Each structure stands twice: as C-alpha cells, then as structure tokens.
Amino acid sequence: MKRSPTLEVHPMLREIKGETAFTFLALARKLMREGRRVISFGIGQPDYVTPHHIREEAKRALDEGFTGYTETSGIPELREAIASYLKGRFGADVDPEEIIVTTGAKTAIFIAIASYVRPGDEVIVVDPSYYAYAQVVKIFGGTPVYVPMAFEPGYGFKLDIESIEKAVTSRTRMVVINNPNNPTGSVLSPEELEGLYDIIVRNNLILVSDEIYDNFVYQGVRFKSVLELEDWRDHVLYINGFSKTFSMTGWRLGYLVARRDVIPSILDLAVTVYSCAPSIAQRAGVAALKGDWGPVREMVSEFERRARVLYNILSESEYIEAYMPQGAFYMFPRVSKFLRRVGMSIEDLVYYLLYEHGVLVIPGTSFSELMGGDHVRISFATKMENVVEGSRIIVEALRLKAG
C-alpha cells in the first residue's frame, strides 16, 4: 500500500518547534472551562483594551470603506508617522522609504532573517530569548548559536559580551537581540549595547534588534536603541510594532527598518508572504502614534507597580531567586534550589502549580536552550489582585512541597 504523499512533510518541519507557551495556556483554559479558577501568569499580552481613540479611527476607516489592499510597504501616512516617532524618540534619521509595515513584529522577524541568512550561516541568539528567532534561522538552513546571558541573583540578567565575542566564527552572519528582553525583563545598558555593536562592526556582521517592548522600561533605566548607534544602516535591521505599546496584539501591525538600498528586494519577499498589513489596522496605527499617549504612560506605570509587588512577594521565598525587572512585563526567576530539593523538573513544577494550586507559569525551557531548566517565566500583564494572590500562592506552594 502506497504511503500518502500528504504525510511526507518537509524534513525541516521536524527541526523547528512552535511557541510551546501556548501549549500551557491551552491547559489552563481547559481547566477554566471545567470550572477551575486559574490565575495565569502565562500570557505575553497587556491586559488592557486598545485605547478608545485608536479603535475609533479603525471604525472610521471601516465606515469609509478603507478595506482594500494597500502598498506592501504600508500606507504613506503610517510610514511617515513611524519615521516621525523614531526621530522624536531616538533622534534617528529614518526615512519613510526605509520602513516596511508588516503583519506584526513576528513577520518582521521572519523577513529580516529570511533576507540574509543562507544555508550554513551561523546566527548568534542571546539566550534566553523569544523562540521565533532560532526557528526562522533553521527554516533557511542556518544554525542558531546560543550564547547565555549572565544571571546575577538580586539583579537579573546581563549580556555576556566576552562569550558573544568567543562565539563568533568565520560562518557567523548575524546576531539577534530582544531589548527589552522576553523572557527576562532585562534591558541592555548603553555600555552593553555599544560593546556588542563593537563586535558587530569589527566582524562585519548584521545586528537584528527586536525592540517591541521599548516603552516598557522601569526604575529610571536608560534605554538606548540601535537606531542611536553610529552608521546603523551598515549593520542594523530594526524591528518594532504596535502590539505591546498600544495593546494591539490582535491587530497584527509591526514594522521593519532597513537601509533604503535593500528595501525593494525585501519588499519582493514581503509581498510574496503577506501582500500587505491590514488596511484598517494601519489607519489605527497612525492614530496610535499621533494621538494621546496618556493611556500608554498609565499602563506602563501600572506595570512597574506590579513588577515591584511581584518582586517583593517572591523575594520572601528561600527557593525563588527573584529580581526587579528593568523592562518588558516578565520576570524569569531561578528556582533551581527548589527543584534540587524536591527532585522535580521545571515542567513538573509548572504542572504542580497549575493542577494543584491553580497558578500558571511558563517553564523556562520554552525560551531557553541552555538555562531554561532552572527558570520559570512569570508575566505580570494581569491585574494587580492576581499578581498579589498568585505570587503568594507560588511562595506557599513551594514551601509546602519542600517541607
């Protein structure tokens, strides 16, 4: 009997993995459908509705019949608004013709890596990291090379410049960073970024910087963008979007910035992949950038308060190495002392907290190839009462299990 050809998927699909965090979210939702109460620290999505003035602009676009295809690069009004924002925020001389609007930052990640990585290339991925970077590298025949960040109890994570330097080989093509970082909540200091860029320039590499969390920065930390670096066009691909800053995750709106010379070639790839970003979402994006930023400031301030509360409560546990996140809306605490004491894996801990105590955290192995087995990711993008109750449950649950 002949084997069905639809079973013969490309071997590459066996090499990549999806976003395993969604697997655990599905388990939590199943329990909730069964009537269980679950406090979820799993979702990487602001718990705020998209601000009113942004939604109203989308309604106007719909009522005006602005529902067709747009330019693949994005409507001029949006690219001009993005360029103006980048200039005002970072002093960057980005031209609208150097911007491609995408269906979310994830699509920008895809076309950025796809446009440069060739079979046999190595791409340095700072570990821990968002899962998609390495998977796209694999799709195009490259090899992700994971370089761990340094974990300092009480402080959090720092870039290990020396290890990145050592990881560069004759096959290295690119370095990918996420700043502020998911899942750690760390923010590169200006000195760390400049040290990394020095490696990039000396070795003639490409730096892909995903700065989707750039407005979520706490404790007065100074955030420096790669667009502030000297001669960034020679080495930088910049990625950002609207999902986090404006709580527009479902709108699917992001963008890529690259030097003007390569934009036509990247657009050929982009139009093949997605034609254009949703027309209505693009009009909403203009309103987001040019409208009232008060709701964004209020949300970020609230997230900083949540981060502080989460840190204070988790710090009460002798089994949790907590720290105050500098940015994004995640903490990636180390729990290795607890795991060794009770003989659990990190996945065992996640299941224990979910099924026995009704709290969802995500195992570090969903984000880290090297150090994930000792960490969990906790998203504080949930209301304050959940942060307080859920973190107290975690502390008590570990105390009970450890005996």
Ordered per-residue pLDDT tens for the chain, 403 residues: 788 888 888 888 888 877 777 888 889 899 999 999 999 999 889 999 999 999 999 999 999 999 999 999 999 999 999 999 999 999 999 999 999 999 999 999 999 999 999 999 999 999 999 999 999 999 999 999 999 999 998 999 999 999 999 999 999 999 999 999 999 999 999 999 999 999 999 999 999 999 999 999 999 999 999 999 999 999 999 999 999 999 999 999 999 999 999 999 999 999 999 999 999 999 999 999 999 999 999 999 999 999 999 999 999 999 999 999 999 999 999 999 999 999 999 999 999 999 999 999 999 999 988 999 999 999 999 999 999 999 999 999 999 999 8
Q: Examine the fold and report which residue of 266, 290, 314 is the final residue of a domain before the chain moves on.
A: 290
Last residue of a domain, one of 268, 290, 312: 290
Please list the alpha-helical segments (H only) found in 223-358.
263-274, 279-290, 294-314, 336-342, 346-357
In this structure, is the dihedral angle defined by the CA atoms of residues 359, 305, 47 and 336, taken in order, positive or negative?
negative
274 and 309 part of one domain: no
Whether 105 and 113 have beta carbons less than 8 Å apart is answered as no
Query: Nearest-CA neighbor of 366 among 128, 46, 126, 45?
Result: 128
- Backbone dihedral angles phi then psi of residue 144, each to the nearest 5 degrees: -75, 135
Outline where DSSP puts E strands in 202-253.
206-210, 236-241
First to last CA, the chain: 58
Domain extent, residue 361, equals 5-49+295-402
Q: For the whole model, what pTM was predicted?
A: 0.95
* pLDDT for position 14: 83
Per-residue pLDDT, 2: 81
pLDDT value for 12: 84
Least Cα distance to 149 among 373, 398, 371, 387 occurs for: 371
Total count of domains within the chain: 2
How far is residue 151's CA from residue 157's CA, in Å, rounded to a whole number?
Answer: 5
Do 285 and 367 lie in one domain? The reply is no
Within this chain, do residues 206 and 316 fall inside the same structural domain, yes or no? Answer: no
How high is the pLDDT of residue 212?
98
Are 279 and 311 in the same domain?
Answer: no
Residue 356: which CATH number? 3.90.1150.10
148 with 283, same domain: the answer is yes
290, 320, 346 - which closes a domain = 290
**Residue 85 belongs to a domain with what CATH number?**
3.40.640.10
**359 bridge partner residues:** 39
CA 77 to chain centre: 26
Q: What contacts 297, CB < 8 A, 6 or more positions away?
A: none
